[in-house]
Amino acid sequence: MSLLLIPAIDLKDGQCVRLRQGNLSEVTVFSNDPGEMAARWITQGARRIHVVDLNGAVAGRPRNDAALKSIIKAAGDIPVQVGGGIRDLETVERMLDDGASFVVMGTAAVKNPGLLKDACAAFLGQIIVSIDAKDGKVATDGWSKLSGHEVIDLARKFEDDGVEAILYTDIGRDGMLTGINHEATLSLARAVSIPVIASGGISGLEDIKILAGLEDEGIMGAILGRAVYEGQLDFAKAQELADQLGGD
């Protein structure tokens, strides 16, 4: 297998946007047609789509249902993973019923461990946990609050609960194009036996080379955001490189 590169579609008020360090006041709008954006990435070779409902992350429940459905419809057989405001089992079930292949839980997983355990039991193989961190501490509530949890301690607990994968984001690098924090990502991947998806700061082919070289350590994929939207990184070339390095 090769490193799975996953383009992110961040939704705010029905539009495809990118933020800097999760700051909702620093928004760049890239498209008014989320479905078309998903189709564009798939045409370029994407094998999975990552969707974040930014309004939902703040409100505590999904707010961009129509946009999400348009993405899932455009994706067809390509898996879509969705997060943002998923804080109860009913919402998890609704997202999966709407056609999402995976549900990403973040704040709810940290604040309500029982919910995560129930979700993993009810929807085995379809729950991904998002660990968003700054200086080694886990953040919640759309990155607005820092908790006292250490990343690796929490990850091991989530592993025991039966999550499918861990999505690890270094908030300080997200949207800044400063390069992936591969040291912290690698430390996490080595601490657990479930796959880790890297996120935050990926800026060029050098990051892809580094992460592809760490695939045997448990890093299965990477979320691509601002770099591919602003043209700093060509998605098709990046996935082609990952495939070459992975032997596909």
Catalytic positions, written as ranges: 10, 132
Note the Cα 215 to chain centre separation in Å: 17
Q: Which residues contact 97 (CB under 8 A, 6 or more apart)?
A: none
If one counts every other C-beta atom within 10 angstroms of the C-beta of residue 109, the result is 28
Q: Which residues contact 227 (CB under 8 A, 6 or more apart)?
A: 177, 202, 203, 204, 233
Is 115:88 a contact under the CB 8 Å cutoff? yes
Q: Return the DSSP state at 85.
A: S
Q: Whole-angstrom Cα distance, residue 213 to residue 158?
A: 25
Is 104:128 a contact under the CB 8 Å cutoff? yes
Q: Whole-angstrom Cα distance, residue 212 to residue 3?
A: 6
